[in-house]
Chains A and B, each alone.
Chain A
Amino acid sequence: MKILMFGWEFPPHISGGLGTACYGLTKAMTKQDLEIIFIVPKAWGDEDQSLVKLVGANNIPVRIKKYSFRDESIKKAHNVQYVEIGSDLIPYVSTEEYYNIINNRVNTTKQLKQYTHTQELDTITFEGGYGGSLIHEVGAYARVARQIAQEFDFDIIHAHDWLTYDAGIAAKEVSGKPLVIHVHATEFDRSGMHVNQFVYDIERRGMHAADAIITVSNLTKSTVVNNYGVSESKVTTAYNGVDDVQLSTPQKFKKNVDDKIVTFLGRITFQKGPEYFLEAAAKVLQRKKNVKFVMAGSGDMFEKMMWRAAELGISENFYFTGFLRGDDVIHMLSISDVYVMPSVSEPFGISPLEAMRSNVPVIISKQSGVSEILKHAIKIDFWDVDSMADAIYGIVSYNGLDNMFKTYGKVEVDNLKWDSAAKTIKSIYQNTLSNA
């Protein structure tokens, strides 16, 4: 079975959990005899391509046809497939480039197979990541998707998160192949109740256009069913997994202090609940001084958190590291004694699994998808700062816990493999195809 998969990022160029999840998932899916063509807006060239065929949308030559250019010579080139591009994309192409496009028109079929040759001529530029012109890029991605869907041969379309839903829909329209969308997060998780209408509309459109929906937890499933008006029968939960660690760089940080280290790792935004972590830290520090708290990540609440730490007078024991990437994350976890994920709303949450894999005890909020499957974790309500503080205090004070988490937590997390997610997804494909 061949899958055309639309993603937004792929390791090592990641800004969130989505890239990691896509990597783990595609890797496991290839073991299930699934062939994947993975599309990202921008391929950097250094991604791990051993398992999946990775295509950067920025490498797809898009032949631009403007109505004003519809002259005799273009009409004659019957083998050229056209992609309609809106006027908002004009700035990406200079007049000189237009000239080249027109002159090269006869060769375009060949050029399609030699992406590098055409790269500078007629591709759409993507910034990648969550840039300022995100909305714009999402639209552009969908237009490119239409082209891609015609170039490749596949059986089913799989789109990860709202950024790619429009691309998925476009591909479905062109190819007539069924569309599966994979919900890693919804706008309600990211923004609480201050939902961005534009994003919501895209999500809703994607969910309704999809033939099947995969959610990462039952928590997300209920959001999809209740807030987007999707029939429950269309939605299936496939829990994420976690990969084995392979450090590519030597250990960067050494734990040089005797103090216990309690870590928060994630974007410092409303969704991740950093302020609850901070308040709990202040409570623990009232009683126990030899504990260091680390908030690793960046985000819109970063400054607010620093001010609050200073206001509570705990800056001496409360550290900010900024955004951590790749192996730094693993290193940070390896020197931690407790990992806290106080997310207000977390569709799944892979990071506690990574922490457990590094033998770190975890405290997670009940408002996370991962709490549905983890047993060897302390689960608290994100707002229950007292419980959180108590759990942190307990783990750093009472030695027995460490050992227990090492014995049971490691085993538990080792059993949470992407393979089971891949199996579930394969059966979703099969059902979708047989119903189509």
Chain B
Amino acid sequence: MKNICLHFQVHLPFKLRTYRFFDIGTDHYYYDDFLNKSTLLRVAKSSYIPMNTLLLDLIKKHKGKFKVNFSISGSAIEQFEKYTPEVIESFQELAKTGKVEFLAQPYNYSLASIKSEEEFRKQVEMHSNKIREVFNKTPKVFHNAHYIYSDYIGDMVLNMGYKGILIEGARHILGWKSPNFLYCSANNPKLKILLRNYKMSDDIALRFSNQAWDQWPLTADKMAGWIKNLPQDEEILNLCMDYETFGEYQHKSTGIFDFMKTLPDAILNHTDFSFTTFSEIIKDGQPVSVLSVPNTTSCADEERDISPWLGNNLQREAFDALYKHVDTMHAITDEYILQDWKYLQNSDNFYYMSTKFFADGNTPLKANPYPTPYEAFINFMNVIGDFNERVKKAPKTHEQIQFSKEELDQEIAKHTAALEQLIELKTKGNIKK
């Protein structure tokens, strides 16, 4: 049985507004609502809505033979709920077909997995609860933000109860091995590992409209031809890309929708591959080998490490400035602070501070609102400056006085009496003229 998993990542960050240092202490709202809303409205129209409609048609047309997988970040779902409920509805339509699987992620596409196990666990839980609440599905396979992975992260994921994880098929972890098999973790073989075939995924995601590419134009038949020519024993092909590839990064006029529309037919008719979901593979598949990944990897750039987010001093300082609160947060009850804590962890905030793109320039910062990393850093640190103050002043659970029931009654009686006295004063007209 040969399987293709199509996987789409949907993520939209809550981008920060221009937050000046003189806002510190006076204004606690950090987000650029206009930018976030207008971005979403644009992408919904160019990508989410037409693509969801197309996928729904394909699922109906192929009667169970066409399946897809989604990772949708918590911040994306929240923005859909806030600005474009029709996008949520169309995802729900897809979920109802039963041919769509949702993967678990850290809630806000954060880097928590490399910082704190507890925070990481909390965010993954938050995310799967959200998926359950909105789509009535329980994620069974895990997919970390930016495919960040190491043996240690694998252990944490397995401890959370996930039996499979999707990671980047980076050459430095695979070596001579092919990404087109099922593997398992060297630390614990119970965790099955699925690998993104970055070559073929990026043929669609990055190179589709590149006319300088020697394979341009890419058609569904050509893709099917490549798949057919894969070595006979290779049994899994994971094609994973940002959902915004369709219609946003690759404009409609490049023919990307027509490509997608004809791809299922081409593959089903010309190859012995069929479409499936990750959990089906995890359930039945047998790993061919173990994978050991001692160092953290990701899907980004040639190096495929975590340097795009934590590669320079600015990023590390900003990261530490935020995560110094990680232990305090458990004691915070103020829901606004907790919400900001969640949004600020968004990995994009650190990505904008990267200096790597000065050097190579071939990976454009996707919709980076800042002209230089320095401005991104200053803005973020201004926000952190305000956030620090709020956290400092906020009541913490462990500081709150604990009362027994009798003590509580006494306190209430005491304050009620005082209150009554005040009311009495007022009725007697004892007011300063």
Give A residues with C-beta under 8 Å from B. 283-284, 286-287, 361, 375-379, 386, 389-391, 393-395, 397-401, 403-405, 407-408
Query: In chain A, what residue has the closest Cβ to B384?
Result: A398
A-B contacts, 15 of them at CB < 8 A, read: A283-B22, A286-B22, A287-B21, A375-B358, A375-B372, A379-B372, A389-B22, A391-B375, A394-B381, A400-B316, A401-B314, A401-B374, A401-B377, A404-B312, A408-B355
Contact assessment for A400 and B372 in the assembled complex, using a CB-CB cutoff below 8 Å: no
CA distance A385 to B20 in the complex (A): 11
CA distance A396 to B21 in the complex (A): 12
Chain B contact residues, majority secondary structure? helix
Contact assessment for A386 and B381 in the assembled complex, using a CB-CB cutoff below 8 Å: no
Contact assessment for B22 and A287 in the assembled complex, using a CB-CB cutoff below 8 Å: yes
Contact assessment for B21 and A394 in the assembled complex, using a CB-CB cutoff below 8 Å: yes
Q: A378-B378, A379-B372, A394-B374 are in contact. List 4 more A-B contacts (CB 8 A).
A: A375-B358, A397-B381, A398-B377, A399-B317
B385: chain A residues at CB < 8 Å are 397
Contact assessment for A389 and B20 in the assembled complex, using a CB-CB cutoff below 8 Å: yes
Contact assessment for A378 and B317 in the assembled complex, using a CB-CB cutoff below 8 Å: no
Distance from B352 Cβ to chain A, minimum over Cβ atoms (Å)? 14
Contacts of B49-97 to chain A: CB distance below 8 A = none
B374: chain A residues at CB < 8 Å are 361, 376-378, 391, 394, 401, 404-405
Instruction: Select the residue from A283, A287, A386, A404 with max chain B CB neighbours within 10 A.
Output: A404
Distance from B125 Cβ to chain A, minimum over Cβ atoms (Å)? 32
Contact of B20 among A390, A397, A400, A403 (CB under 8 A): A390
Asked if B318 CB lies within 8 Å of chain A CBs, one says: yes
Distance from B389 Cβ to chain A, minimum over Cβ atoms (Å)? 13
Contacts A286-B22, A404-B312 given: A394-B355 contact, CB under 8 Å?
no
CA distance A66 to B22 in the complex (A): 71
Asked if B274 CB lies within 8 Å of chain A CBs, one says: no
Asked if B382 CB lies within 8 Å of chain A CBs, one says: yes
CA distance A183 to B358 in the complex (A): 30
Query: In chain B, what residue has the closest Cβ to A378?
Result: B374
Contacts A286-B22, A390-B20, A393-B21 given: A403-B382 contact, CB under 8 Å?
no
A-B contact count (CB 8 A): 70
CA distance A386 to B20 in the complex (A): 8
Distance from B376 Cβ to chain A, minimum over Cβ atoms (Å)? 11
Query: In chain B, what residue has the closest Cβ to A403?
Result: B313
Distance from B124 Cβ to chain A, minimum over Cβ atoms (Å)? 29
Distance from A279 Cβ to chain B, minimum over Cβ atoms (Å)? 13
Contacts A378-B372, A379-B372, A404-B314 given: A394-B377 contact, CB under 8 Å?
yes
B381: chain A residues at CB < 8 Å are 394, 397-398
Asked if B231 CB lies within 8 Å of chain A CBs, one says: no
Contact of A391 among B314, B317, B355, B378 (CB under 8 A): B378
B373: chain A residues at CB < 8 Å are 404
Distance from A8 Cβ to chain B, minimum over Cβ atoms (Å)? 35
Asked if B371 CB lies within 8 Å of chain A CBs, one says: yes
Distance from A310 Cβ to chain B, minimum over Cβ atoms (Å)? 22
Contact assessment for B371 and A401 in the assembled complex, using a CB-CB cutoff below 8 Å: no
Q: 1/0 per position for B333-374, CB-CB distance to A under 8 A?
A: 000000000000000000000010010000000000001111
Contact assessment for A400 and B21 in the assembled complex, using a CB-CB cutoff below 8 Å: no
Query: In chain A, what residue has the closest Cβ to B318?
Result: A400
A378: chain B residues at CB < 8 Å are 372, 374-375, 378
Query: In chain B, what residue has the closest Cβ to A288?
Result: B21
Contact of B378 among A283, A284, A390 (CB under 8 A): A390
B317: chain A residues at CB < 8 Å are 398-400
CA distance A404 to B382 in the complex (A): 18
B372: chain A residues at CB < 8 Å are 375-379
B378: chain A residues at CB < 8 Å are 378, 390-391, 393-395, 398, 401
A389: chain B residues at CB < 8 Å are 20-22
A401: chain B residues at CB < 8 Å are 314, 374, 377-378
A394: chain B residues at CB < 8 Å are 21, 374, 377-378, 381-382
Distance from A375 Cβ to chain B, minimum over Cβ atoms (Å)? 5
Instruction: Select the residue from B21, B22, B313, B377 with max chain A CB neighbours within 10 A.
Output: B21
CA distance A386 to B314 in the complex (A): 22
A403: chain B residues at CB < 8 Å are 313
A408: chain B residues at CB < 8 Å are 355, 358
Distance from A286 Cβ to chain B, minimum over Cβ atoms (Å)? 7
Query: In chain A, what residue has the closest Cβ to B25?
Result: A287
Query: In chain B, what residue has the closest Cβ to A375?
Result: B358
B371: chain A residues at CB < 8 Å are 379
Query: In chain B, what residue has the closest Cβ to A400?
Result: B317
Q: Which 7 A/B pairs are nearest by Cβ-Cβ distance?
A: A394-B378, A400-B317, A393-B21, A398-B381, A400-B314, A390-B20, A403-B313
CA distance A400 to B350 in the complex (A): 13
Query: In chain A, what residue has the closest Cβ to B320?
Result: A400
A379: chain B residues at CB < 8 Å are 371-372
A399: chain B residues at CB < 8 Å are 317
CA distance A292 to B312 in the complex (A): 29
Contacts of B294-342 to chain A: CB distance below 8 A = 312-314, 316-318
Distance from A184 Cβ to chain B, minimum over Cβ atoms (Å)? 27
CA distance A386 to B381 in the complex (A): 16
Query: In chain B, what residue has the closest Cβ to A361?
Result: B374
Contact of B377 among A283, A286, A375, A400 (CB under 8 A): A400
Distance from B312 Cβ to chain A, minimum over Cβ atoms (Å)? 6
Q: 1/0 per position for B371-413, CB-CB distance to A under 8 A?
A: 1111101100110010000000000000000000000000000
B22: chain A residues at CB < 8 Å are 283, 286-287, 389
Instruction: Select the residue from A283, A401, A407 with max chain B CB neighbours within 10 A.
Output: A401
CA distance A399 to B321 in the complex (A): 11
Distance from A413 Cβ to chain B, minimum over Cβ atoms (Å)? 14
Query: In chain B, what residue has the closest Cβ to A402?
Result: B313
A390: chain B residues at CB < 8 Å are 20-21, 378, 382
A407: chain B residues at CB < 8 Å are 313
Distance from A363 Cβ to chain B, minimum over Cβ atoms (Å)? 9
A398: chain B residues at CB < 8 Å are 317, 377-378, 381
CA distance A391 to B318 in the complex (A): 16
B313: chain A residues at CB < 8 Å are 400, 403-404, 407
CA distance A106 to B338 in the complex (A): 96
Query: In chain B, what residue has the closest Cβ to A408?
Result: B355
A284: chain B residues at CB < 8 Å are 21
CA distance A376 to B22 in the complex (A): 24
Query: In chain B, what residue has the closest Cβ to A392?
Result: B21
CA distance A287 to B355 in the complex (A): 30
